[in-house]
């Protein structure tokens, strides 16, 4: 009798240990597959790689699946993300999304041009009514903190932000239907200003 009770305890802890192991794949995947480019914990000073720390999980999952099914097709997506995403299961993606969402986002606070920053803040918070540009904060949050399927923009690298805003003029991110409309009223100067404002958040 006693033996049987101990045996079932043993079985339960075995099951618990293996599910704890399965739930703990994200830090290992991150370290082995992602941190070389995105930095440990999803924070990097390299302008080539987007910051991932604090990215809302639903947005993260959508992007990983768009890389994996090859529907996000800009040059750097193909070059850097298509291959690696094809090695991940849905479960891996889910766990990585939860991992990155839980990391503290960076606040670079770097303002290199005050006039640009002020223009960027104005467009981000008030929009450009006469050019049909809505205030970005309505979807992305006051300081670009992001929510659900809408990405965090605050603290993101200026170069990455500028590149993506230009990508939305074409159709290399077909899932971004809202953004295709938003960028129509933005000039090159507006894009520079918005990127300056956001990276400083």
| Contact residues for ligand HEC, defined by CB under 6 A | 29, 33-34, 36-38, 48-50, 52, 60, 62-64, 74, 76-77, 80-81, 84, 96, 123, 133-134, 136, 138-140, 149-151, 153, 161, 163-165, 173, 175-176, 178-179, 182, 194
Kindly state the smallest distance separating residue 144's Cβ from ligand HEC, in Å.
Answer: 8
Kindly state the smallest distance separating residue 38's Cβ from ligand HEC, in Å.
Answer: 6
* Residue (2 or 73) nearer to ligand HEC, CB: 73
Which pairs from 160-166 meet CB under 8 Å and 24+ separation?
160/47, 160/48, 160/49, 160/50, 161/194, 161/195, 161/198, 161/199, 162/191, 162/192, 162/195, 163/74, 163/76, 165/191, 165/194, 165/195, 166/191
* Residue (111 or 139) nearer to ligand HEC, CB: 139
Kindly state the smallest distance separating residue 175's Cβ from ligand HEC, in Å.
Answer: 5
**From residue 118, how far is each of 1, 115, 135, 163 by CA, in Å?**
76, 5, 14, 21
* Residue (94 or 111) nearer to ligand HEC, CB: 94
Distance between CA 86 and CA 78 in Å, rounded?
11
Distance between CA 182 and CA 33 in Å, rounded?
34
Kindly state the smallest distance separating residue 2's Cβ from ligand HEC, in Å.
Answer: 47
Kindly state the smallest distance separating residue 1's Cβ from ligand HEC, in Å.
Answer: 49
CB count within 10 Å of CB 20 equals 9
* Residue (7 or 138) nearer to ligand HEC, CB: 138
């Amino acid at each position: 009798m006693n033996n049987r009770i101990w045996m079932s305890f043993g079985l339960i802890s075995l099951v618990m240990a293996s599910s704890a192991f399965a739930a703990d794949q994200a830090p290992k995947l991150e370290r082995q597959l992602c941190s070389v480019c995105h930095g440990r914990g999803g924070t990097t000073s390299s302008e080539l790689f987007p910051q991932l720390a604090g990215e809302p999980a639903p947005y993260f999952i959508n992007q990983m699946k768009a890389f994996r099914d090859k529907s996000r097709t800009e040059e750097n997506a193909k070059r850097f993300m298509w291959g690696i995403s094809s090695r991940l299961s849905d479960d891996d993606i889910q766990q990585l999304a939860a991992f990155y969402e839980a990391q503290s986002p960076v606040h670079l606070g770097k303002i290199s041009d005050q006039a640009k920053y002020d223009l960027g803040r104005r467009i981000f918070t008030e929009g450009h009514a006469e050019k049909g540009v809505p205030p970005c904060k309505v979807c992305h949050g006051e300081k670009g903190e992001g929510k659900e399927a809408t990405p965090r923009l605050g603290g993101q690298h200026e170069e990455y932000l500028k590149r993506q805003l230009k990508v939305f003029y074409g159709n290399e991110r077909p899932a971004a239907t809202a953004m295709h409309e938003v960028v129509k009223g933005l000039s090159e100067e507006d894009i520079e200003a918005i990127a300056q404002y956001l990276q400083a958040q």
